[in-house]
Structure 1
Amino acid sequence: MPTYQYTGRNAQGRQVSGQLDASAEEQAVESLLAQGIIPTSISRHFGKKKQEIDLSEWLARAIPLEALVIFCRQLYSLTKAGVPLLRAINGLVQNSTNKQLKKALEDVSSELTNGRSLSDSMQMHAEVFSPLFISMISVGENTGRLDDALLQLSLYYEKEIETRKRIKEALRYPIFVVGFIGIAMVILNTMVIPKFASMFERFGVDLPLPTRILIATSNFFVDYWLLLFTLFLGAIFAFKAWVSRAAGREKWDKFRLHMPLVGSIVNRAQMARFSRTFALMLRAGIPINQSLTLASEALDNHYLENRLTEMKTAIEAGGTITNTAISINIFTPLVIQMIAVGEETGRIDELLLEVADFYEREVEYELKSLTARIEPILLVVVAAMVLVLALGIFLPMWNMLDIIKGG
């Protein structure tokens, strides 16, 4: 989440300054006003908020979505039953099994006791509660429909969990096969081929080209394994450093949308997530510009996020949603068509939810067929390995048998 540097005056008229996290500048202003601070200047801060190294931030794992679903469901039931909010939060603190969520709820309970709103209290824990989550809670508080907001959030995260599970199931088999091939390559180059090479050397057999290639590859692997391992780690760190830069991350995220075999699946999944998030924000009554900001952050794709930022700027300049959606050139014809019809009828949220359902079904079908499409490629790779190994091992053995028979 972006960090904003601000200066302003508090209720006593004193000048104050500091930093706070917010999904957009408008939300930062609203947060400051809620704290009784009138901002005189506010700008995005790109530096590090902390100079010291906090190991807990490096070791802490992201809170699982399942924990958020359970929290939303439980808080929804309690608020629906009329249980006071502070009492409900205190009860959930005692029943929470996730340490991160429990610690955050303890702080939220303390802030509620001090008079803060639920959304402002949760905003202090951006590592647990996303901007989308906080915005939905804020809308629920302002409209008096907190229970509905919690129900919508639980349904949203349940859909996200289902999608992630389907992706893991589809990738499990290819990852297993690729891992097995990697292990087999290591064993062959370090244990099997060197023994055959020593045997062929003792017999003095003229080695064919496939065998010489195998032995040279094995010797290089055995002699320079440390260099190869270092280069592998260096490539990983170089890739992470490149992706950590804004330009590199945008190019990588754009490439992900056009990758062979899986690019179309990623693109459709992103369209489904955007459609559902944007519709959820609009249905909750959040302004279009802020809804676009929250929907773009939910995508976790910098290329799409930057294009949606351009769309937001164009809308704020007076453009229509349909024309700006066409101009940024990231939406499929179906999404643009639904946006155009929804803009004319005032039912963008309903139509985008239908788009989300359609693309989620498409993604589910594509994921089921992904394994069938990857299998032939893996079979060709395995067959090529076996063929090269067989030629490299058996051709000199046949030469050895000919020598023995001739002798």
Structure 2
Amino acid sequence: MANAKAYRTKPTPLHRWKWEGKGPQDRAMRGELIGRTKPDIIEQLAKQRIVATKVQKRSSFSGRSKVTNVDIMIFARQMATMVRAGIPILQALQAVSESLKKPAMVALTQKIMEDVSSGDSLSSAMAKHPKQFDRLFVSLVDAGEQAGALDQMLERVASYKEKVESLKNRVKKALWYPTAVMIIGVAVTMLLLIKVVPEFESMFQGFGAELPALTQFTVNLSDMAQKYWLQATGTLFGSIMLLKAAARRSPRVAYRLDSMMLHLPILGDILHKSAVSRFTRTLATTFTSGVPLIEGLETAAGASDNRVYIRAINEVRQDVTTGQQLHFAMRMTNRFPALAVQMVNIGEEAGSLDAMLNRVADYYEEEVDNKVDALTSLMEPIIIVVLGALVGGVVVSMYLPIFEIGTAL
């Protein structure tokens, strides 16, 4: 008897469907939805109390997609515009869904529509997707629903997302620029040692004379590179992967890595200022929206991407819970700059903490901009010097024997 083989069937790809139907009170409706099959579309419409009369496939989506922070920011802005115009939540979600191009984002919007049509509030529906809608987003939407200012809260969270994303991109630029320089320098040097130097070495063997010290050093380095470059590359990448795995599994390792990053020259200062800006921006956004300070601090800790500052913010929250003022709790951590602490103190005394927190965030965002620009300007001559020294050193060492022979002749 032949063994039965089990095959995993591929999931049906997503398609865009054009539909027509009748809603409440036999109102004629039409639109577009994303789904895998025609019955799926009919079921989605039924949950929205729409009876489908015509469902037609329009196009298919290929490839995978992932919801990004930019997608969420655009979604929030579109929803804010719809709600401000007086469009009901379900219809607003439907309109936004039809305007989206990314399948994953469309599917997410439709899941929210299903939950809202089943009786959930918008914030409750979003809370079911914590990877896409963080605690800050859900808290602000919930506050907006309760205060009848949903459009304002959506616009506020969109602005917050935009500023945070811009800050993250600037920090990434600062981190990747020196990394790229190092990779290019090492790659060019390895290429010369593995491919170019051996050609010269075979020529030198016919000279029958002792090579200059610099040339001999380069030849020995080339021999090592040819023998061990694969092992060295594997060890390097393996070490990086092990370090990442250790950071994911061990909070202590992750904390030490983040602490080391903060102590790097130039880059560390950028990361410090970025963390302060993100903390104050998040806290200002929650505080302005009516979220209690303790809850806002908890949200700010969750929004931080540096374990050192996460611990510091949690310490601030614990101190504020016991009755201490925010600026004093910040000072006690020894993590926040004196200027930031002083400005928060002024904001607390003047009763304008939210405005002062926003000013602190603006100031340190500008500082990050200036530091990144300075780093870029500094790295340009360093690239020229480093690559020139590496390439020039190898080239000169290879031509030294030829120069000596020419001099002897």
Bin for the TM-score computed over the shorter chain: 0.7 to 0.9
Q: 1:67 to 1:146 in 2, by over 3 A?
A: same
Question: What letter is aligned with 1:124?
Answer: K
Q: Is the Cα–Cα contact under 8 Å of residues 205 and 400 in structure 1 kept in the other structure?
A: no
Structure 1 window deviating more from structure 2 (303-312 vs 100-109): it is 100-109
1:364 corresponds to 2:369: yes
Separation in 1 of the partners of 2:153 and 2:105? 19
Q: Which residue of 2 aligns with 1:284?
A: 289
Q: Is the Cα–Cα contact under 8 Å of residues 75 and 150 in structure 1 kept in the other structure?
A: yes
Q: Which residue of 1 aligns with 2:68?
A: 64
Q: How does 1:30-45 map to 2 (within 5 A)?
A: none
The two structures, once aligned, show a CA RMSD in angstroms of 2.1
1:161 shift after superposition:
3.5
The equivalent position to 2:279 in structure 1, one of 267, 274, 278, is 274
Q: Which residue of 2 aligns with 1:114?
A: 118
Q: Which residue of 1 aligns with 2:232?
A: 228
1:301 corresponds to 2:301: no
Q: Which residue of 2 aligns with 1:14?
A: none
1:387 shift after superposition:
4.2
Q: Is the Cα–Cα contact under 8 Å of residues 79 and 85 in structure 1 kept in the other structure?
A: yes
1:183 shift after superposition:
2.9
Q: Which residue of 1 aligns with 2:344?
A: 339
1:175 shift after superposition:
5.3
Q: Is the Cα–Cα contact under 8 Å of residues 100 and 128 in structure 1 kept in the other structure?
A: no
Tell me the TM-score normalised to structure 1 length.
Answer: 0.80
Q: Is the Cα–Cα contact under 8 Å of residues 72 and 151 in structure 1 kept in the other structure?
A: yes
Q: Is the Cα–Cα contact under 8 Å of residues 257 and 266 in structure 1 kept in the other structure?
A: yes
Structure 1: stretches of 5+ with no match in the other structure: 1-58
Separation in 1 of the partners of 2:64 and 2:343? 41
The equivalent position to 2:82 in structure 1, one of 78, 81, 85, is 78
1:264 shift after superposition:
1.2
Separation in 1 of the partners of 2:180 and 2:343? 40
Q: Which residue of 2 aligns with 1:392?
A: 397
1:305 shift after superposition:
0.4
Separation in 2 of the partners of 1:108 and 1:214? 63
Alignment coverage as a number of residue pairs: 346
Structure 1 window deviating more from structure 2 (251-260 vs 118-127): it is 251-260
Q: Which residue of 2 aligns with 1:39?
A: none
Q: Is the Cα–Cα contact under 8 Å of residues 101 and 128 in structure 1 kept in the other structure?
A: no
Separation in 2 of the partners of 1:129 and 1:334? 32
SS at match of 2:241: helix
The equivalent position to 1:353 in structure 2, one of 353, 358, 377, is 358
Q: Which residue of 2 aligns with 1:3?
A: none
Structure 1 window deviating more from structure 2 (388-397 vs 270-279): it is 388-397
SS at match of 2:205: helix
Q: Which residue of 2 aligns with 1:130?
A: 134
Q: How does 1:45-60 map to 2 (within 5 A)?
A: none
Tell me the TM-score normalised to structure 2 length.
Answer: 0.79
Q: 1:225 to 1:170 in 2, by over 3 A?
A: closer
Separation in 2 of the partners of 1:60 and 1:239? 28
Q: How does 1:373-392 map to 2 (within 5 A)?
A: 373-392=378-397
Structure 2: stretches of 5+ with no match in the other structure: 1-62
Q: 1:61 to 1:132 in 2, by over 3 A?
A: farther
Q: How does 1:145-224 map to 2 (within 5 A)?
A: 145-167=149-171, 174=178, 177-224=181-228
Q: Is the Cα–Cα contact under 8 Å of residues 340 and 360 in structure 2 kept in the other structure?
A: yes
Q: Is the Cα–Cα contact under 8 Å of residues 171 and 371 in structure 1 kept in the other structure?
A: no
Question: What letter is aligned with 1:94?
Answer: E
Separation in 2 of the partners of 1:264 and 1:174? 15
1:352 shift after superposition:
0.8
Q: Is the Cα–Cα contact under 8 Å of residues 62 and 127 in structure 1 kept in the other structure?
A: no
Q: Is the Cα–Cα contact under 8 Å of residues 83 and 92 in structure 2 kept in the other structure?
A: yes
Q: Which residue of 2 aligns with 1:11?
A: none
1:258 shift after superposition:
2.2
Deviations 1:228-275, CA, capped at 9 Å, x for gaps: 122112211122123222011111112222211221122112211111
